[in-house]
Structure 1
Amino acid sequence: MTATTADRSAGVPPEAAFVDAMAALAGGVCVVTAPTPEGRPVGFTSTVVMSLSREPQPLAVGVNRAGRTLPVLLGGRRFALNILHAGAEHVARRFAEGTADRFAALEWSADGTGLPLLRAYSSCVLVCRVDEDLPAGDHRLLIAAVERIMPGTGGPTALVHHGRRYHALDAAPAA
């Protein structure tokens, strides 16, 4: 064990130890997208997504309180969860960086309600309605109902984040 990951059961571990521990946890990579009130698409990369139950079908998404997208999500109460396929690392990086127009030079479309969709880079896209907004440290945890699921064009592959790097997973059956 390194000094930053040492057992600190006597007290709260330092931030670096916590960050190191969370880097050992693989997470699926998604891009959360929504339209501003003016109709401009916005979004961010997230690995803080989880399903909560089978019936009903809510999911939870962590959103940075300081992020520019949070007010849009809370105002519009709807978003698209684009679950990125294995070949979409460039999209994950683009939406994780502070790029001014994250949608420039990307293939995207708006659904009938104006939600920006990244189907060309996704295994599937879930259209969600925000039902709850809970404080969670420097983030907000949005609990959302899934209203619709659309296939993407990426097939059954996944992009995951583990060890501070992106990794591609295919849908090969487990042995």
Structure 2
Amino acid sequence: MAAATSDRFVACPPDSAFLDAMAALAGGVCVVTALTSEGRPVGFTSTAVMSLSRAPQLLAIGVGRAGRSLPALLGGRRFALNILHSGGEHVSRRFADRTADRFADLEWSAEEPGGLPLLLAHSSYTVLCRVVRDLPAGDHHLIVAAVEDVVTGTGGPTALVHHDRRYHALGAA
């Protein structure tokens, strides 16, 4: 019976079935921000975020290999994980758009020291992270990061969630 079970996982299902299954998995919406080696802010929207360890405090994010922010994450070894509040859908869409000037006309600040771009006005929390491990994984990289600090945003205890290819606000009045 064990052989039959393992054979089940050899052939891949159709890509659409995999994408549909992952769309059924609700995920908190975050924007990962970093600085390029030239000091330019970069960022992208992500639901591929997980708490990994409480002691030491670690989290993991998935980053596409083709993403423009990956070199900044790997080169600078630091990033900010901005956990968007329930009113942050427009910010999520902007950072998911490959053509948008993502920081133009958007309220953000620079963390000191280090200058990481923080989206506190759009976040419930912002977690400052230092990359400790980078693992290539298919068409993505799995980045493991140590938590350096947690900053409370201005959004209160609400959350923006992505499920079934749509945004949902949680905890909003």
Same fold at TM > 0.5: yes
CA contact (8 A) 2:65 2:140 kept: yes
Q: What is the CA deviation profile of residues 18-67 of structure 1, one whole-angstrom value per residue up to 9, with x for unaligned ones?
A: 00000000000000000112211100000000001111110000000000
Q: Which residue of 2 aligns with 1:158?
A: 159
- Separation in structure 1 between the aligned mates of residue 76 and residue 9 of structure 2, nearest angstrom: 43
3-state SS of the aligned residue for 1:75?
helix
Q: Which residue of 2 aligns with 1:3?
A: none
Runs of 4+ in 1 over 6 A off after TM superposition: none
Structure 1: state its 5+ residue gaps.
1-7
- Mapping of residues 15-164 of structure 1, within 5 Å: 15-112=15-112, 113-164=114-165
- Separation in structure 2 between the aligned mates of residue 11 and residue 54 of structure 1, nearest angstrom: 36
Aligned sequence identity (%): 75
3-state SS of the aligned residue for 1:21?
helix
Q: Which residue of 2 aligns with 1:12?
A: 12
Amino acid paired to 2:82? N
Q: By how many angstroms is 1:10 displaced?
A: 8.2
- Separation in structure 1 between the aligned mates of residue 74 and residue 9 of structure 2, nearest angstrom: 37
CA contact (8 A) 2:36 2:71 kept: no
**CA RMSD of the aligned region, Å?**
1.5
Amino acid paired to 1:83? I
Amino acid paired to 1:141? L
Structure 1 length as normaliser, TM-score?
A: 0.91
- Separation in structure 2 between the aligned mates of residue 124 and residue 10 of structure 1, nearest angstrom: 40
- Separation in structure 1 between the aligned mates of residue 35 and residue 72 of structure 2, nearest angstrom: 7
- Separation in structure 1 between the aligned mates of residue 10 and residue 76 of structure 2, nearest angstrom: 44
Say if 1:15 and 1:145 are closer, same or farther in 2 by CA, change over 3 A. Answer: same
Greater shift in the superposed pair: 163-172 or 95-104? 163-172
Q: By how many angstroms is 1:133 displaced?
A: 0.2
- Separation in structure 2 between the aligned mates of residue 44 and residue 98 of structure 1, nearest angstrom: 9
Amino acid paired to 1:136? A
Q: Across the two proteins, how many residue pairs are aligned to each other?
A: 165
- Separation in structure 1 between the aligned mates of residue 166 and residue 21 of structure 2, nearest angstrom: 14
Q: What is the CA deviation profile of residues 132-153 of structure 1, one whole-angstrom value per residue up to 9, with x for unaligned ones?
A: 0001110000000000000000
- Separation in structure 1 between the aligned mates of residue 172 and residue 55 of structure 2, nearest angstrom: 25
Say if 1:12 and 1:96 are closer, same or farther in 2 by CA, change over 3 A. Answer: same
Structure 2: state its 5+ residue gaps.
1-7
